[in-house]
Amino acid sequence: MTVITKKEKEKELRRIQILNAVDSLLKEKSFESITMDEIAEKVELSKGTLYLYFASKKELSLAIHNRSLEIVSDRFARVLALDFPGNVLLKKMAEQYIDYIEQNPRVMELFLQNEMLLFPNVETAVQICADENTEAFRCHDSAARMFSYLIRAIQVGMADGSIVYKGDAKELAVLYWGGVKGIFQISYLYERGFVLSSLEGMDLSYKSNISNFLNLLESAITKK
């Protein structure tokens, strides 16, 4: 049994305080525009002391990323515990994800920026410091847990007949999640003024696009 020392508890509490401060700043500006000086001032630490808890801004970014994944994973777990058909569970998970995005739009930028670090291996490990690699592994584990809940909801639906799909549950989960992430990327660019000329005039906001996508998917996989 691992015994956590008082010093370790205090360090973890301070890390949580720092992450809370970053969450608060993200309500006002993007992570890229937040400085380590601002964070240090908000938690009443010197900049040097701040680096004792997070060795780099990238490590801090990954820690915020992981916290977000853990929150969404916990939401998915609570949905999965409900006594509903699989198609309803899948829809409720989507609602929880959308709700989190709407409440924390700037956190989603980190999801895009950090994506390549979510699969740390020997090659990437030599390119980033050990602390960043550790946070990347945590993000990977949290993402895997979240995805397992999504797969389970689909499996429930395929078993109870509320989801009709001839392939594997994991395959459908990949298609589902790929659509959700792809739509976010399109909407992310749209909100920054990058739109293909052939798509000008369309409402490419995330809320509109994801609603249309989920309705399309539901009509395709739900038992008629």
Mean pLDDT of 166-178: 92
pTM of the model: 0.84
How much is the pLDDT for 223? 62
- Helix 86-103 to helix 57-80 angle (10° resolution) is 150
Q: Within 13 Å, how many C-alpha atoms sit on residue 73's CB side?
A: 17
Mean pLDDT of 162-183: 90
Q: Is residue 137 over pLDDT 50?
A: yes
pLDDT tens per residue across span 72-89? 999 999 999 999 999 999
Amino acid found at 184: F
How much is the pLDDT for 39? 96
Domains of the chain (ranges, CATH numbers):
1-53 (1.10.10.60), 56-221 (1.10.357.10)
Mean pLDDT of 128-152: 82
Q: Which residue has the tokens 């370790």?
A: 8
